Amino acid sequence: IDIAVLRQRAEARGEPLRILDVACGTGMLLQHLSAHFPHARLYGIDASSDMLVQARLLLKDSESVHLSQGVLTTGFAAGLPYEPASFDLITCTNALHYLSDPASVLRGLRELLIPHGQLIVEDYARRTFPFPWPAFEWLIKRIDAQHVRAFTIEEAQQLCLQAGLQVLLARSFSIDLLWQGWVIKTAL
C-alpha cells in the first residue's frame, strides 16, 4: 500500500482516507488498518452475520469503523451499497475463490475507487504440477461447498486486467507446507 500517496491525495481533497475491506470476516484487517490510518473512515462488509458479530466485538472501540452485511455480486458496484468513486483503497482478501464471475466483481469494485485509487486482492493460490491440485480442490469443495475455484497468480492478474485495473505488484508467498497464496496491488 502506498500510504504516503494515499494520505497526500486525501489531504489534497480535504477529506480523510476512505478504506473498504470487502469480505472483512472477523475484522482483523480492519483493526490493523485502523492502527495504521487512525484518521481514516473504514468500512467493512461481509456476507456472514456470524463473522460480522465477531468483527463488531473486535472493533467495538473503533468509532471510525462502519460494518455492514452485503454480498458481492456481478453488476454495478459489485452489488455493494456504496456510491461510485467512494474509496481511496479497497481490500479483498480470501474471497476470490468464492466468486463465479470474479472479473465482473472486480470491475464492480473498480467502480468504487476514486481516480488513482488502489485495490488489493489476496487469496490462496491454485498450485500447479507436480502438486495434485485437482484432487486437492475436489476435497476443498467437499469441505467448503461455497468454494468455486482457486486461481494461480497469473490467472488472478488476468482477471484484474479484464476488470480494467492496472497491476502494480503481484507477489506469491508461502503460507505453510501445504498452502501458498498471492497478493496483487492494482490501481485505476
pLDDT number for residue 31: 96
What's the whole-number mean pLDDT along residues 24-52?
A: 95
CB atoms within 10 A of CB 118: 23
* Whole-number Å distance between alpha carbons of 18 and 160: 21
Where residue 24 falls among pLDDT bands split at 50, 70, 90? Answer: very high
| More reliable by pLDDT, 7 or 82 | 82
Mean pLDDT of the chain: 92
pLDDT tens digit sequence for 100-148: 999 999 999 999 999 989 999 999 998 877 788 788 888 888 898 898 9
Where residue 9 falls among pLDDT bands split at 50, 70, 90? Answer: confident
What's the whole-number mean pLDDT along residues 32-59?
A: 95
pLDDT number for residue 11: 82
pLDDT surpasses 80 at 37 = yes
Residue 93 grid cell? 482478501
pLDDT tens digit sequence for 58-106: 999 988 999 999 999 998 999 999 999 999 999 999 999 999 999 999 9
Cα of first residue to Cα of last residue in the chain, in angstroms, is 14
pLDDT number for residue 38: 87
Sign of CA dihedral 139, 141, 147, 148: positive
* Whole-number Å distance between alpha carbons of 17 and 6: 7
Q: Which residue has the cell 485505476?
A: 188
The answer to which of 25-34, 52-61, 119-128 has the lowest mean pLDDT is 119-128
pLDDT surpasses 80 at 2 = no
Concatenating the DSSP letter of every residue in 110-144 gives: HHHEEEEEEEEEEEEBPP-TTS-HHHHHHHHHHH-
- Please tell me whether the overall predicted TM-score, pTM, comes out greater than 0.85 for this model: yes
pLDDT surpasses 70 at 166 = yes
